Amino acid sequence: MTTPLAAKIAREYGTPCAVIDMDRVERNIARVQATCDAAGVANRPHIKTHKSPVLAQMQITAGAQGITCQKIGEAEVMAEAGIDNILISYNLIGEEKMARLGALQGKAEVTVAADNATVIEGLPQAAAISGRTLSVVVECDTGRKRAGVETPAEAIALARQIAASKALRFAGFMLYPTETGWGEAQKFYDEALAGVREHGLDAAMVSTGGSPNLKNLGKLKGATEHRPGTYIYNDRMQVAAGVATLDNCALTIYSTVVSRAAPERGILDAGSKTLTSDTGGLDGHGLILEHPEAKIARFAEEHGFLDLTRSNTRPKVGDVVRIVPNHVCVVVNMMDEVVMVRGDEIIGVLPVAARGKLR
């Protein structure tokens, strides 16, 4: 069954269409800001989820101390919109990136992350371009086996390398503990902190992440800030992690059923170019709110293959359904714009200004 709002969106914008409920967005911003405030940890939201200076400014107005970006391109969009106090939580390498980082630092207060000597050796180029000292945090691996040094001794050595450069300032540590690894993260941090203090340094900034760890806020003694991103929209992964409910999911994909060639199957007009193939370890590729027992079993680029064998209710051709994505961040990056609604009213269109900023 197609709701009146879904029918209106399909008529005015077509499907598939990304739609954000601004009432839920505002509640999510307020809820997580209050959670950070109660834990005594500053909120530095990661904009990789929404990629919008408008929403970033809403987060700052609500109390966030700054923002996190993953790539220079994202940070450039945010700084151009007047947003300051930016952490780029990614290793930056090469003359092209140093030129852009130097120009960016001339517009905004920027801190960057590093987990190896090669990155640190290149950063003074950016500082020289801007004419300002560049703040650097050491990224520490505390269980995810992604980026980050693996031992406190390595973190201490990099902190000393940063401090030895007149162009750089050692700002602290950046961590992303696993949801169950905060005890190990504490041991890592305590040893790294003691080590840098032996060399006359300190960690003014101790940054943890992300949305799945909101339930762990306050568990790392010494943390000064947290970097949640997905919370502004939420998705099936956050619901599965226990940090959100479906009522907190602010972004849905409106999609039309375009084929029902057999009783137990169907086709949506949202395929891998809309919902992405990132399952997040979940069953299926999204939750259809009108038919929660139905399964989006697989994709072609423009086809979402419905498995209706478990569904007591089955859509018909032409029905417009709402889908909660598994991983909303990559879904948003597929979109040039999202449609904003309040209740049953369409209130406007929001550009995804930092979409596709992969470098």
Percentage of residues in the chain having pLDDT higher than 90: 98
Q: Order across the sheet with 168-175: list the strands.
A: 42-43, 225-227, 205-209, 168-175, 134-140, 110-114, 86-88, 67-69
Do 209 and 88 lie in one domain? The reply is: yes
Q: How far is CA 216 from CA 7, 178, 241, 270, in A?
A: 41, 10, 12, 35
Is residue 73 over pLDDT 90? Answer: yes
CB atoms closer than 10 angstroms to residue 250: 26
Q: What is the mean pLDDT of residues 279-287?
A: 94
Segment 335-354, tens digit of pLDDT = 999 999 999 999 999 999 99
Query: Can you give the CATH number for the domain in which 14 is found?
Result: 2.40.37.20
Boundary of a domain, candidates 202, 233, 264: 233
Q: Are residues 14 and 79 in the same domain?
A: no
pLDDT at 91: 98
Q: What value does the mean pLDDT take over residues 57-62?
A: 98
Count of beta carbons in the 10 Å neighbourhood of residue 355: 18
Query: Please, which pLDDT band fits residue 1 given cuts at 50, 70 and 90?
Result: confident
The DSSP H or E segment spanning 259 is strand 251-262
- Looking at the fold, whether 221 and 250 belong to one and the same domain comes out as no
Average of per-residue pLDDT across 182-204? 98
Give the burial class of 13: count Cβ atoms within 10 A of its Cβ; 0-12 exposed, 13-18 middle, 19 or more buried: middle
Q: If we measure between CA atoms, which residue out of 264, 328, 288, 327 comes closest to residue 3?
A: 288
Predicted local confidence at residue 217, as pLDDT: 96
Residue 68 lies in a domain: yes
pLDDT in tens, 80-132: 999 999 999 999 999 999 999 999 999 999 999 999 999 999 999 999 999 99
The token duo for 129 is 């371009």
Query: What domain range is 346 assigned to?
Result: 4-20+244-351
Pair (325, 184) in one structural domain: no
Q: Cα dihedral sign for 10, 12, 18, 21?
A: negative
Total number of domains constituting the chain: 2
Let me know if residue 239 belongs to a domain.
no
Residue 357 C-beta-side C-alpha neighbours within 13 Å: 21
Task: Inform me whether the pLDDT recorded for 49 exceeds 90.
Answer: yes
pLDDT tens digits, one per residue of 129-169: 999 999 999 999 999 999 999 999 999 999 999 999 999 99
Q: Is residue 238 part of a domain?
A: no
Res 78 pLDDT > 90: yes
Peptide bond into 210 cis (omega under 30): yes
Whole-structure pTM value: 0.96
